[in-house]
Amino acid sequence: MNESLPIYQSYIDGAFAAGDNLIEVFNPANGQLLGSVPETSLSDVERAIAAARAAQKGWARKPANERAGYLHRIASKVRDNAERLARIITAEQGKVLGLALVEVNFTADYLDYMAEWGRRLEGEILTSDRPGENIFVFRKPLGVIAGILPWNFPFFLIARKLAPALITGNTIVIKPSEETPINCFEFARLLAETDLPKGVVNIVSGRGATVGSALSSHSGVDMVNFTGSVATGSRIMAAAAGNITKLNLELGGKAPAIVLADADLGLAVSAITASRVINTGQVCNCAERVYVQRKVADQFIDQVSAAMAATRYGDPLAEDNLDMGPLINQAGLDKVAQMVKTAVNDGAQVITGGSVADRSGQGFHYQPTVLAGCQQAMEIMRHEIFGPVLPIQIIDDLDEGIALANDCEFGLTSSIYTKDLSSAMRACNELDFGETYINRENFEAMQGFHAGVRKSGIGGADGKHGVYEFTHTHVVYLQI
Ligand code: NAD
C-alpha cells in the first residue's frame, strides 16, 4: 500500500496498539484507497474488555458531574476539529460535506447534552409496608458496554453509545464498521489528547464475524449496544444468549409516509424527497414507502419525480453543490439495482431514474428513482431499500393507509402529512411504530427516544429513557 497513507491502530487501555492484519478502507465515490485499520486480534479484544473492566469501578466512583466534564472536553475537541472530521467522514462514507458537518456538530452537541444528565440521574424512594423501613431504588451502571456501530452515521453513533455509557458510570469497547473505521480512530486520537482515564474508552476494529462476534459472546461484556441490520442483530442475540448478556438493538426500518388529500403537498414533496436523498437514502428512519391518497396521487407523483430528477449527485469531495453522494459499496449498489429490477418485473413503473448511474465506472452511484404503481405485496414495499429509491402506492383513505403502514416486519419510524387534526390523532393512536413524524421530515431529536417495535429492535437511544438503558436498578430495603 501507499507508504504515505495512514495506518491506524487499536486504542486499548489508553494506548495505541498496532495490528498484524490490516483492512484497507476505500472512498466509495471514486475507489481511492484512504488508509488501513487493524483487524484487531482476539487477544487484543480480550485486553480491551479487561481494560474496560479494570477501569469501570474507579470511573463509576467519580461524581457524575466530574464524568460530565470529560464529555464536555471531548465535545469541544470534536468542535475544534469539525471541518477535518467532516472531510474524513465524507471520504470514507460518501455523504455530502454539508451533512458530514451536521453529523460532527450534532455529535458534539450530543456529548454536551448527555453530559448534562450528570446532574439529573435519579433513583427513587418508595413507601414500605413495614414500620420504620425505607426502600431505595438505586440506578447503577451495567459495567462494560460493547458498542458495535454501522457505517451510515458512523461518527454520531460513537457518541450515541459512548456518551450515555460514560455519564452513567460504565466503560466501553467500541467497534466501528469495517466500512467506516477511520473517523472512529481519528476520534480515538482526540480522546488520547484529553485526560480521560485509561481503559474508560477502548476502540477495536475488524469484521463482524470475528471481532464483533468476540465482543457479543464475551462474558466480560454487560451489554451489547448494537446498531445495524436485522440479520446481524439476530446473530448478536444468539452470540449473547450463552451469557444472557443484556442487549440494546437498533435495527432496520421501512418507514411509511402517508400523504392524505388535505396535506400541504409542497411540504410533503420536499420532506419525502429529502428523506430519500439525505445520505443517499441510507438512513434507518427515512421514508422508504409512500401511501398517497388517490385524489392527489398524480399531482404528488409529478412533483416528487421532478424533485428527485433534479437531485445533483456525484463525488462529494470533487464536486460542489451536490445533494447526495454514492452508496456505501458494490453490495449496496447491487442490492438497490436488483430491488428496482424486481419491482419493475412485478409491475411497478419507473417515473424517473431506475438505473445505476453512468459515471464511467467511478463509485457506487444510483440514479434518484421514483417507482409508481407499487403494491403492498412487492418486495420493494416490504424490504429495506437503503438507497435513493421511492416506491409509491395509491390508497383510498386513511384506514387503508394505516393498515398498510402497520403491515410490516419493521416498526421504527412512520410519517403522515395532513392538515386535519382528527387524522393526525388517529395516526398517533393507530400507527404501531416507535416514532411518528407529522407534517415534518424524519429526523429524531436527541431528547426524544429513538426506538423501534417488531424487528426494528429492542430498547432504544436518546433522552431520559436512552440514558437509563445503560443502568440497572438496585433496590435496597433498609431497617435500622
Ligand atoms: P450490519 O449489520 O451489516 O453491520 C453493523 C455492524 O455489525 C458492523 O460493525 C459489523 O462489523 C458488525 N457485525 C456484522 N456481523 C456481526 C456479528 N456476527 N456479530 C457482531 N457484529 C457483527 O449493518 P450496516 O450495513 O453497517 O448498517 C446498515 C443497517 O443499520 C441498516 O439495516 C439500517 O437500517 C441499520 N441502522 C439502524 C439504525 C437505528 O437507529 N435503528 C441506525 C443506523 C442504521
**Ligand 1, atom 42: closest residue by C-alpha:** 284
Does residue 231 register a pLDDT over 90?
Answer: yes
Is residue 245's pLDDT more than 70? yes
pLDDT at 80 over 90: yes
Predicted pLDDT of residue 20 = 87
Based on the structure, what is the number of domains in the chain?
2
The protein residue with its alpha carbon nearest to ligand 1, atom 22, reads: 208
Q: Is residue 358 scored above 90 in pLDDT?
A: no
Q: Ligand 1: which residue has its CA nearest to atom 12?
A: 208
Mean per-residue pLDDT, 79-89? 98
Q: How far is the CA of 393 from the centre of ligand 1 (A)?
A: 29
Atom of ligand 1 nearest to the CA of 450: 40
* Residue 1 clears pLDDT 90, i.e. is over it: no
Residue 4 lies in a domain: no
CB of 442 sitting under 6 A from ligand 1: no
pLDDT at position 361, please? 74
User: Cα(279)–Cα(151) distance, rounded to whole angstroms?
Assistant: 11
pLDDT at residue number 122: 96
Instruction: Indicate which residue of 39, 103, 284, 435 is catalytic.
Output: 284
- Atom nearest to 253 CA in ligand 1: 34
The CB of 412 under 6 Å from ligand 1? The reply is: yes
Residue 131 predicted with pLDDT over 80: yes
Residue with cell 477511520: 182
Ligand 1: centre distance to CA 95 (Å):
18
For ligand 1, the distance from its centroid to the CA atom of residue 251, given in whole angstroms, is 7
Q: Residue 450: inside a domain, yes or no?
A: no
256 lines ligand 1 (CB under 6 A): no
Query: Closest ligand 1 atom, CA of 215?
Result: 20
Domain identity same for 237 and 347: no
Q: Which atom of ligand 1 is nearest to the CA of 216?
A: 20
The one-letter amino acid at 26: F
pLDDT tens readout for residues 285-311: 999 999 999 999 999 999 999 999 999
In a domain? residue 99: yes
Asked whether residue 67 falls in the same domain as residue 202, the answer is yes
Residue 467 lies in a domain: yes
Q: For the residues 347-369, what does the mean pLDDT come to?
A: 93
Same domain for 271 and 216? Answer: no
Question: The domain spanning residue 375 has which CATH number?
Answer: 3.40.309.10
Ligand 1: does its nearest atom lie under 6 Å from the Cβ of 236?
A: yes
- pLDDT at position 458, please? 98
Q: Which atom of ligand 1 is nearest to the CA of 457?
A: 41
Query: Is 5 inside any structural domain?
Result: no
Q: Are 463 and 448 in contact (CB under 8 A)?
A: yes
Cα-to-centroid distance, 149 and ligand 1 (Å): 6
> How far, CA to CA in Å, does 240 sit from each of 105, 203, 215, 249?
34, 20, 9, 12
- pLDDT bin (cut points 50, 70, 90) of residue 2 is low
C-alpha cell at 151: 457505517
Same domain, 75 and 44: yes
Nearest to 272 by CA among 311, 318, 245, 243: 311
Whether residues 422 and 468 share a domain: the answer is: no
Q: What is the mean pLDDT of residues 229-237?
A: 98
CA 475 – ligand 1 centroid, Å: 35
Is 408 a known active-site residue? no
Pick the residue whose CA is nearest to atom 18 on ligand 1.
Answer: 209
**For position 3, what pLDDT does the model report?**
63
Pocket test for ligand 1, best of 39, 175, 177 (most atoms within 8 A of CB): 177
181 and 274 belong to one structural domain? no
What CATH code is carried by the domain that includes residue 78?
Answer: 3.40.605.10
315 within 8 A of 18, measured Cβ to Cβ: no
* pLDDT given at position 175: 98
Residue-number span of the structural domain to which 197 is assigned: 10-251+456-479
Does 252 contact ligand 1 (Cβ within 6 A)?
yes
- pLDDT recorded at residue 4: 87
Torsion sign over Cα 12, 220, 236, 171: negative
Q: Is the CB of 152 under 6 A from ligand 1?
A: yes
191-202 pLDDT per residue, tens: 999 999 999 999
Residue 66, pLDDT score:
97
Task: Identify which of 24, 6, 25, 26 has the alpha carbon closest to the alpha carbon of residue 16.
Answer: 6
Rounded-to-integer distance, Cα 40 and Cα 46, Å = 10
Residues 206 and 139 grouped into a single domain: yes
Q: Which atom of ligand 1 is nearest to the CA of 412?
A: 41
**Which of 174, 221, 229, 234 best tests ligand 1's pocket when mutated (most atoms within 8 Å of CB)?**
229
Yes or no: say if 462 and 449 are a contact pair by the CB < 8 Å rule. yes
In this structure, the answer to whether residues 326 and 272 fall within a common structural domain is yes
Under the banding of pLDDT at 50, 70 and 90, the label for residue 51 is very high
The mean pLDDT value of the chain amounts to 97
**In this structure, are 355 and 232 located in the same domain?**
no
Ligand 1 pocket check for 216: Cβ under 6 Å: yes
Whether residue 98 is contained in a domain is answered as yes
The model's pLDDT over 263-279, given as tens digits with 9 standing for 90+, comes to 999 999 999 999 999 99
Q: How far apart (Å, rounded) are the C-alpha atoms in residues 380 and 157?
A: 27
Q: Give CA–CA dist 397/314, Å, rounded.
A: 39
User: Residue range 301-323: average pLDDT?
Assistant: 97
pLDDT at 315: 96
Least confident of 360-364, 448-452, 456-460, 473-477: 360-364
Pair 192, 274 in one domain: no
Q: Are 476 and 135 in contact (CB under 8 A)?
A: yes
Same domain for 58 and 138: yes
Task: List the catalytic residue out of 178, 179, 250, 384.
Answer: 250
Q: What distance in angstroms lies between residue 337's CA and the mean position of ligand 1's atoms?
A: 21
Q: Catalytic: 428?
A: no
Cα–Cα distance for residue pair 280/288, rounded to 1 Å = 12
Domain co-membership, 181 together with 259: no
Query: Is a pLDDT exceeding 80 seen at residue 67?
Result: yes
pTM above 0.95, yes or no: yes
